[in-house]
Homo-oligomer: A and B are copies of this chain.
Amino acid sequence: MDSNPKIPDKVGTYRFEAEPFHVDFTGRLTLGVLGNHLLNCAGIHANERGFGIATLNEENYTWVLSRLAIELDTLPCSYEKFTIQTWVENVYRLFTDRNFALLDKDGHPIGYARSVWAMISLHTRKPADLLTLQGGGLAEMACDKPCPIDKPSRIKVKADAPVSSLRARYSDIDVNGHVNSIRYIEHILDLFPLTVYREKRIRRFEMAYVAESYYGDELSFYMDDEGNDTFAVEVRKNGQETVCRAKITFQRPAGQSPQAVS
Contact = CB atoms under 8 A, between A and B. Distances in A.
Contacts of A180: 21
Interface in A1-41: 19-27, 30, 32, 36, 39-40
Contacts of A171: 24, 30, 32, 186, 189-190
A239 interface: no
A173 B197 CA distance: 11
Contact of A175 (B24, B169, B192, B197): B24
A216 B171 CA distance: 21
Given A20-B40, A36-B19, A25 B175 contact: yes
A116 B216 CA distance: 36
Given A25-B177, A40-B19, A170 B182 contact: no
A231 to B, nearest CB: 14
A174 interface: yes
A242 interface: no
A78 interface: yes
Given A194-B215, A215-B194, A23 B175 contact: yes
A152 interface: no
Interface string A179-192: 01010001001101
Nearest to A25: B173
Interface string A151-179: 00000000000000000011101111100
A190 B170 contact: yes
A127 interface: no
Contact of A21 (B40, B78, B169): B40
Contacts of A20: 39-40, 43, 175
Interface string A223-251: 00000000000000000000000000000
Contacts of A23: 174-175
28 contacts: A19-B36, A20-B175, A21-B36, A21-B39, A21-B40, A21-B174, A21-B182, A22-B36, A24-B170, A24-B171, A24-B173, A24-B175, A25-B170, A25-B173, A25-B175, A25-B176, A25-B177, A27-B175, A30-B171, A32-B171, A78-B175, A169-B190, A170-B189, A170-B192, A171-B186, A171-B189, A171-B190, A194-B216
Q: Nearest 5 A-B pairs (CB), nearest first?
A: A169-B190, A21-B36, A25-B173, A194-B215, A27-B175
